[in-house]
């Protein structure tokens, strides 16, 4: 049985541009966490109240709504300080969490791999550590549910020293995982494997694209944070060029800093990409805001120098004649359509040609065995046999770091 949830938001001079979208997103987040929104309360004020966020009068109104709707939980669309959370919960006599804890809760539901579970637990413990006072008792009295997944009640009842020890142990374990990831990345780099990363707002369709282009068979669903654990699959483009395609966790407004810190090794996977495909839900009401959020996070995460091709997805849900793209270069597709996926591959090849260096390489017949490596690591455009020279003539495009480019340069 789903919990009955009251959501609360304060519109201020700082957040008025995206407030409405943020509240709509909070409803989706609550539903993703298996809750039912029974009431939504908003308040406009110049700035949030330092003690209650909403002021004492509005707090009483929330208490009345909680009683009337028999709500189990109140979710604030703002990060609550430990003092605010404790005071509001005391006044309402019902469990109170904020947007950050709700997102962490969803991540706890979604984490499937050992690494993902460790990352989420680390983020939750870092978030909960300063909020321990009184939480254990409140949870014991009011039962589990949204906001209590992951570490849960038993870890909340540990003393701070024990929790800090646990955080240190998780960080150590994640460091080992990170080292393993780094070794895999280095292997791909040494093998001259070109790496393409899928990034974008949550629920934009990244997993659908990965499944359509490869045989990944990863979890895909029309819900927020359907993918949490990064997945890398091999994909062949052009004639025979082998690249890797990596699906990553979706971005969202106000992505909790605890998550960014905990997911460093996962984010490292994206930072090492050669090219990023920024997947955008073309049908999203707040598309521009979602684009801004992703581009801003790329900048914050030190990924703004990586070449980006924007993929406007879900074009079957919009009027194509009225659609006005805002990011360039771009390609407009519907990931569920096979023809669209072919269009996407063509757009990627065109994009890569502009980034790559053109080459013209002649291989003597006795060295034709090297052609396999050439085909797998470059975009081959033509292949001809020269009878007079008894050699093979290859033309195409290769990454600037390709040994084939260095080889061609040395032979000139």
DSSP code per residue over 52-78: TBS-HHHHHHHHHHHHHHT-SEEEESS
Q: Is 202 annotated as a binding residue?
A: yes
Q: Is 206 annotated as a binding residue?
A: yes
CB of 302 closer than 8 Å to CB of 271: yes
Q: Is 144 annotated as a binding residue?
A: no
Between CA 76 and CA 58 the distance in angstroms is 13
Between CA 256 and CA 101 the distance in angstroms is 9
Q: Is 359 annotated as a binding residue?
A: no
Domain boundaries, the chain: 3-107, 113-141+148-177, 193-354, 357-398
Domain pair 3-107 / 193-354, same fold: yes
Burial of 362 (0-12, 13-18, 19+ CB in 10 A): middle
Q: Is 200 annotated as a binding residue?
A: yes
Q: What is the pLDDT of residue 217?
A: 67
Task: Give Cα 407 distance to the centre of its chain.
Answer: 38
Q: Is 248 annotated as a binding residue?
A: yes
Q: Is 315 annotated as a binding residue?
A: yes
Phi, psi of 67 (to 5 degrees): -65, -45
Burial of 241 (0-12, 13-18, 19+ CB in 10 A): buried
Q: What is the pLDDT of residue 53?
A: 94
Q: Is 335 annotated as a binding residue?
A: yes
Nearest to 255 by CA among 203, 300, 303: 300
Cβ contacts of residue 123 below 8 Å, gap of 6+?
Answer: 104, 107, 256, 258, 259, 261, 262, 263
Q: Write the class of the CATH domain 193-354.
A: alpha beta
Q: Is 226 annotated as a binding residue?
A: yes
Task: Give Cα 175 distance to the centre of its chain.
Answer: 21
Q: Is 316 annotated as a binding residue?
A: yes
Q: Mean pLDDT per 10-residue run, the chain (412 residues)?
A: 94 93 94 95 94 94 97 96 94 94 88 85 89 53 62 57 90 88 81 91 92 76 64 90 89 80 75 94 94 92 94 96 96 96 97 96 93 94 93 95 74 58
Q: Is 334 annotated as a binding residue?
A: yes
Phi, psi of 118 (to 5 degrees): -65, -40
Cβ contacts of residue 71 below 8 Å, gap of 6+?
Answer: 4, 5, 6, 38, 39, 65, 94
- The residue ranges of DSSP E strands in 204-333, in sequence order, are 231-237, 241-247, 275-281, 308-313, 330-332
Nearest to 71 by CA among 22, 142, 147, 132: 142
Q: What is the pLDDT of residue 145?
A: 73
Q: Is 176 annotated as a binding residue?
A: no
Q: Is 229 annotated as a binding residue?
A: yes
Q: What is the pLDDT of residue 408?
A: 62
Cβ contacts of residue 146 below 8 Å, gap of 6+?
Answer: 3, 5, 30, 33, 34, 35, 73, 75, 97, 102, 105
Q: What is the pLDDT of residue 137?
A: 44
Q: Is 347 annotated as a binding residue?
A: no
Q: Is 407 annotated as a binding residue?
A: no
Q: Is 273 annotated as a binding residue?
A: no
Between CA 254 and CA 99 the distance in angstroms is 9
Q: Is 201 annotated as a binding residue?
A: yes
Topology given in CATH for the domain delimited by 3-107: Rossmann fold (3.40.50)
CB of 396 closer than 8 Å to CB of 382: yes
Q: Is 133 annotated as a binding residue?
A: no
């Amino acid at each position: 049985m789903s919990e009955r949830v009251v959501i609360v938001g304060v519109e201020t001079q700082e957040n008025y541009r995206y407030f409405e979208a943020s509240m709509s997103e909070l409803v989706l987040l609550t539903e993703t966490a298996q809750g039912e929104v029974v009431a939504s309360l908003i308040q406009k004020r110049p700035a949030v109240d330092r003690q209650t966020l909403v002021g004492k009068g509005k707090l009483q109104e929330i208490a009345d709504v909680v009683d009337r709707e028999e709500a189990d939980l109140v979710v604030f669309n703002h990060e609550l300080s430990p003092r605010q959370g404790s005071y509001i919960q005391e006044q309402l006599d019902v469990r109170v969490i904020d947007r950050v804890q709700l997102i962490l809760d969803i991540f706890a539901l979604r984490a499937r791999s050992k690494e993902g579970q460790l990352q989420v637990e680390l983020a939750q413990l870092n978030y909960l550590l300063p909020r321990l006072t009184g939480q254990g008792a409140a949870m014991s009295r009011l039962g589990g549910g949204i906001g209590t997944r992951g570490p849960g009640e038993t870890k909340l009842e540990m003393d701070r020293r024990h929790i800090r020890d646990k955080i240190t142990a998780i960080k150590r374990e994640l460091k080992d995982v990170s080292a393993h990831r780094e070794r895999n990345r280095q292997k791909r780099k040494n093998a001259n494997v070109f790496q393409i990363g899928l990034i974008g707002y949550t629920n934009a369709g990244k997993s659908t694209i990965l499944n359509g282009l490869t045989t990944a068979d990863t979890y895909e669903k029309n819900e927020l944070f359907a993918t949490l654990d990064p997945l890398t699959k091999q994909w062949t483009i052009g004639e025979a060029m082998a690249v890797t395609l990596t699906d990553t966790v979706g971005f969202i407004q106000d992505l909790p800093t605890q998550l960014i810190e905990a997911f460093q090794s996962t984010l490292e996977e994206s930072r090492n990409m050669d090219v990023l495909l920024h997947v955008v839900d073309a049908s999203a009401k707040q598309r521009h805001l979602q684009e801004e959020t992703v581009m801003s996070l790329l900048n914050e995460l030190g990924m703004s120098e990586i070449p980006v091709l924007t993929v406007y997805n879900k074009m079957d849900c919009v009027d194509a004649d009225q659609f006005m793209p805002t990011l360039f270069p771009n390609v407009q597709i519907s990931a569920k359509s096979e023809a669209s996926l072919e269009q996407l591959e063509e757009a990627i090849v065109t994009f890569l040609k502009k980034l790559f260096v053109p080459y013209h390489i002649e291989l003597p017949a006795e060295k034709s065995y090297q052609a396999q490596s050439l085909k797998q690591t470059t975009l081959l455009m033509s292949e001809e046999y020269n009878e007079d020279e008894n050699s093979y003539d290859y033309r195409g495009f290769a990454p600037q770091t390709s040994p084939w480019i260095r080889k061609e340069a040395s032979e000139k």
